[in-house]
Structure formats: structure tokens, C-alpha cells
Amino acid sequence: MRLGSVIRWEFLRAVRSKQYLFMSVFIPVIAAAAIIVASSQDRSAAQSLSGPPPAFVVALILAMILFMGAFLNGVMALYGVVKEKQSRVVELVLSSISARQMMAGKVIGLGIAGLIQVAAWVAVTYAVASRFTTISLEALTLVHWVTYPLYFALGYLLIASIYAATGATMKDVQSGGVGGLVGFVAYVPIMFAALIIENPNHVLVRIASFFPPFTPSVMLLRLGTAHVPAWEVALSLAALGAGVVVTMRIAARVFELGLLMYGKAPSTRELWKWVRARRPR
Amino acid sequence: MPAPVLEVRSITKQFESVRAVGDVSFEVQRGEILGYLGPNGAGKTTSIRMILGIFQPDAGEISIHIGEHSGRLLKERTGYLPEERGLYSDATVLDALVYFAELKGLSRAEARPLVLQWLGRFDLHEWANKKVERLSKGMQQKVQFIAAVAHKPDLLVLDEPFSGLDPVHQDLLKDVIRELRDGGAAIMLSAHQMNQVEELCDRIFLIDRGRRVLYGTLDEIKAQDGEHVVRLRFDGSAESLSALPGVKDLAIDGDRASLRLERGAGPDAFVRSLPATLAIREITVTRPPLHDIFVRTVGRESHEAR
């Protein structure tokens, strides 16, 4: 019940923030514009703004949108924790609930806000794009409808828990955290998006699908452009799930220990010591 | 005697090479205010954080006895006013307070009227829907206090509750703290204003360098200290007083004098040894104020450590 209160609180704070409103409008406008441009690309100028966008464009934009959602809400978790630490709210919160409950409530509450936001982005993008192009969702099969939310949710949990833990080790928003770099790994595949779209079943791409930080973005891109064997989808989800469990455990530990450390941010070596240290309870 | 609400047994906490708290034991009874005192950096906040379960002691045991419950900490039955104040500054006063009460296990419907009642008590009802950041420091202080008590805790830990409050609100807060005690709460109060402590606390625990230096009722501590303070008004010359046995720190200002009697030199012997040449017009002999005992004890400790 108290976890529910934390989730509700974090959710409401997120959706009432200005960033949330801004991003809700900004992202779909950009995404729709990208689809419109892509649709007109290989047509004559006279026919512009009419044809359907290529399937890979839809896949890429969906992947970007999902990732943007995971990233933005992860960053919100980070800022939230740093602010709570700076304003010393954290002490009062921890005298009421455990650090684990606090982190879980934050990650889930912001996650729900993120999910709603992403759904809105997709809907608005589709609505705008369909006015100017002949975009259709026929290319999306049941596999997409089932797996995309899963990749988003798991990818979000992975990123948000890393960011929440990073926030707990930071003194203020200016000071960097090691976790930020770890979180960045998840965006690497987006930089290689063009290559992945061209060679969705290349052996390296297939291997990358099973490396948890890469899984969500790589799989979103592959599923959008090629047929992926069911066992690969299942295995990638299992790998991602396992990665989420491990990451969340480590993140919870760092979160717990980092929260009450004021003063200097811990070094990478200290962090490693925390992660390995036996839980006192 | 019923089981104490809070029972602390030999807790120890080490940070790297610093022993923040070493082998500290005490208890707080239902309906009692324990003054938890010590100089800055003595280990007060560290021990308070252990009691509240914010972190765990390296060794020792903290148990809670509330009604039928006996054993581990019940966070929902505990209230805490941290020394480092902090609230969600961009939330409204009411929202933030209801949320903190929810974290203690109350439903929103239960929390709201309790919070509003407290806001009324502290003259803050007009501020209920204002953002916390718009409040003055003193008001935020009161809001923070409400966050500690709205859920009617059985164990209440107040770290520096009077700092930042004007005298009117200090008195109001004292009344409220006494009411909570009379209502059966076990209260642990940490403060630097020894006069407030003397007014409020039934017993005192003095910690220095992570260790217990004094523990007992005010009377016990003063008796243990053994010194007396004498103040008098006189005609004639008081210089001869300094020659009397056990007299130290004689200070004369016009027709007034004050002095301290060493431990063992009781008021009785002192009064009998007063010279006949000195005409005394007023005289009081009292135990020293807690402030003096604190300063002397902590000063001696740090002197011996060197």
C-alpha cells in the first residue's frame, strides 16, 4: 500500500511537470515530420506528401520514440533523486520506507507516466502522419504489438534503475556519475541504426540482440525491417529480463548506500565495493 | 515497569577509520522525554539514524516495544524531525504532508483531516494549498514538525526542533511536545538550548565522541555532578569568601557575588563557614544549570583526549 502511494506520488509529479507537457508535444511533431519527409523522398516533387513511408522508417521512428521515452523518464528519475538528496527529503522518506521501496516506487511511477507518454506520442505521430501520407499500420503484426511494449518496458526498467542509482551517488546535478556512462551504452545501437536496418540479420547484429543493454533498440529495429525467428525474439527477451533483474539488484544496492552519502561522490572503486558488500540485514 | 518503547543495547557504528558511535545503550519509556545531548559531531545524528532504521548498526541491538509488538523497528509508528530539514519544495503544503502521512501507512482519507487539524494548530491553514517553497523558514519548520507527528507516532525523534523558531513558536512547540508526551508518546529530543532541555526533559543522555558520558534524570545528573552555585548580595567586603574551603570561581560585581562550590563542599558547610564580618542580604544556593554541566563535561572530555 505504501509502495502504491510512492508510485502515485511520483507519477503525478511527473505528469504535472513542464518537461512532460513540452515533450508530449515536441516529440510527435518531430517524428511526424520525419515520416512525411521520408514518404516524399523517392517520388517526384509534384507527388510529394502522398505515398506511404518505407517500412524501415516507421520501424526506426518507433524505436526512437520508445527509446526517447525510456531515456527521458530515466533522466527524470535521476533528477528526482538528486533533488531529494539535495533538499534532504530523503532522510524523512527513509525513516518511513526502505530505500528499495523508494526506488521501486520511483521507477514504476515514472514508468507509467512514460508509458502513457509514449502511447500518446505514437498516436499523435500516426494521426499527423496519416493526414499527409498514406501511412498504414498493416505492416505491424501481432508480434510487434506484443513485443514492442515489452521491449520498451524492460528497456525502461534497465535504464531507469541505472539512472536512479546514478542519481543517488551524485552530489548535485552538475557532478557526473559513472552510471551515466553505463546508461549511455544502451544508446549505442541507435547510432548504428542505419547499418542495422540494412543488415538486420547480420551475425553481429544478431549477437548484439542478446546483450541486454543493446537488446531493446536492436530488436525494435530488426523487427521493424525483417523477419526475426521466434526463438531469437524469445531468447532476447529472456536475456533482457535477466539483465533487468541483475541491474536492478545492483542499482538498488548502490541507491541504498548512495542516498545518505553527502559530500563527495563515490569513486568507481568505492561503488564496486558497495555492490559486493554483504547486505547488513 | 513496562517495557520501554525504545530499547537501545550497545550499538556501535564505524565509518572507515572513525568510530562514530561506540557501545551506546539507553531506553525511552512511554510518556517520557529523553534529552539526547552532545556537542556537534558527537555521534547524535548517527545514532538517531540507526534508531530510525536509515542505516544499520555494526553491532548491538535496537528493539521497539509498542503494545503487543516487540522487536524490530516499526517505521510506521515512528515520527522523525530531522536536523537537516527537507520537504518537497514544489509541492503544496497539504499534498506533501498527506504524502508523508501516507508513507506511514495512513490512507489519504485518514491523513487529510489530521494534517488540516495540525495546520490549524500552527496557524498555517491559509497556507495549505501554497507551495512549500513560498513559506518562510519558520513556517517550513512547523510544516516539518507536522510531518513528524501527524500520524500519531508512539516513538518520536526530534532533532533540534527549536532552531529557527521565534520565542512565541518555541513556547507553542513546547506545549505541543508536552501534550504528545502526556498522550503516551516516547520522545527523544536533541537540542542545543540547555534551558529548553531542562524545562522539557525527564531524563538526559549526554554523548561525546560516540560514547555515553552522562545518563540519568536531571536530579541524578546534578547530584552526580555534585557542584553548587551560590549567588549573594551583601554589605561589606566579599573578598574573604575565596579563602573558604571548596569555593572557586568567585566573581564580585558591586554588592553582588557569585561562586561555585566544589563537589563535596556542600551548601551546609559553606553557609556555616561564612564570616561574621559579611552582612548577607540575599543568598541562593542551587545545583548548577545543565548548561554548565554540559560545558564542563564536554570540555573536560576533550581536554583529557589530548
Using the 3D structure, point to which of B200, B222, B244 is the last residue of a domain.
Answer: B222
Q: How far is A5 from chain B (nearest CA, A)?
A: 7
| Cβ separation A260–B52 shorter than 8 A | no
Say what the pLDDT of residue B151 is.
93
State the Cα–Cα distance between residues A281 and B284, nearest whole angstrom. Answer: 55
For residue B58, the Cα-to-chain-centroid distance in whole angstroms is 25
Among B222, B231, B229, CA closest to B246: B229
Cell (9 digits) for B63: 528493539
User: What is the reported pTM?
Assistant: 0.84
Q: Which of B78, B84, B99 sits opposite A88 (nearest CB)?
A: B84
Say what the pLDDT of residue B186 is.
94
Judged against a pLDDT cut of 70, whether residue B13 lies above it is answered with: yes
On whether both B118 and B243 belong to a single domain, the answer is no
Residue of A nearest to B151 (CA): A96
On whether both B124 and B29 belong to a single domain, the answer is yes
Give Dmax over CA atoms of chain B in angstroms.
75
Q: What is the bridge-based pairing of β-strands B18-28 and B6-15? A: antiparallel
On whether both B164 and B273 belong to a single domain, the answer is no
| B21 in a structural domain | yes
Q: Which residues, listed in sequence order, are joined to residue B235 by a DSSP beta bridge? A: B279
| B118 in a structural domain | yes
The rounded mean pLDDT for chain A is: 81
Q: How far is B126 from chain A (nearest CA, A)?
A: 23
On whether both B86 and B143 belong to a single domain, the answer is yes
Whether chain A has a CB inside 8 Å of the CB on B87: the answer is: yes
- Residue B69, phi then psi, degrees to nearest 5: -75, 135
| B303 in a structural domain | no
CB contact at 8 A, A200 and A225: yes
| B298 in a structural domain | no
| B106 in a structural domain | yes
Whether chain B has a CB inside 8 Å of the CB on A95: the answer is: yes
Q: Quote the ipTM score.
A: 0.82
DSSP state of A17: S
| B142 in a structural domain | yes
| B194 in a structural domain | yes
On whether both B31 and B164 belong to a single domain, the answer is yes
Q: What is the pLDDT of residues B160-203, one digit of tens each?
A: 999 888 999 999 999 999 999 999 999 999 988 888 899 999 99
Q: What is the pLDDT of residues A83-139, one digit of tens each?
A: 888 888 888 998 899 888 898 999 999 999 988 988 888 888 888 888 777 777 776
On whether both B145 and B215 belong to a single domain, the answer is yes
On whether both B140 and B164 belong to a single domain, the answer is yes
On whether both B231 and B119 belong to a single domain, the answer is no
For residue B240, what is the domain's CATH number? 3.30.70
Say what the pLDDT of residue A173 is.
67
Contacts of residue A145, Cβ cutoff 8 Å, sequence gap at least 6: none
Full residue range of the structural domain in which residue B161 is found: 6-222
Contacts of residue B153, Cβ cutoff 8 Å, sequence gap at least 6: B77, B78, B79, B104, B185
Domain count, chain B: 2
Residue of B nearest to A3 (CA): B103
B90 vs B156, more confident = B156
For residue B179, what is the domain's CATH number? 3.40.50.300
Q: In what order do the strands lie in the sheet containing B59-66?
A: B18-28, B6-15, B59-66, B69-71
Mutate to test the interface with A, among B88, B156, B158 (most CBs of A within 10 A): B88
| B20 in a structural domain | yes
On whether both B98 and B202 belong to a single domain, the answer is yes
On whether both B32 and B79 belong to a single domain, the answer is yes
Using the 3D structure, point to which of B222, B249, B270 is the last residue of a domain.
Answer: B222
Q: What is the pLDDT of residues A205-216, one digit of tens each?
A: 899 889 988 888
On whether both B236 and B189 belong to a single domain, the answer is no
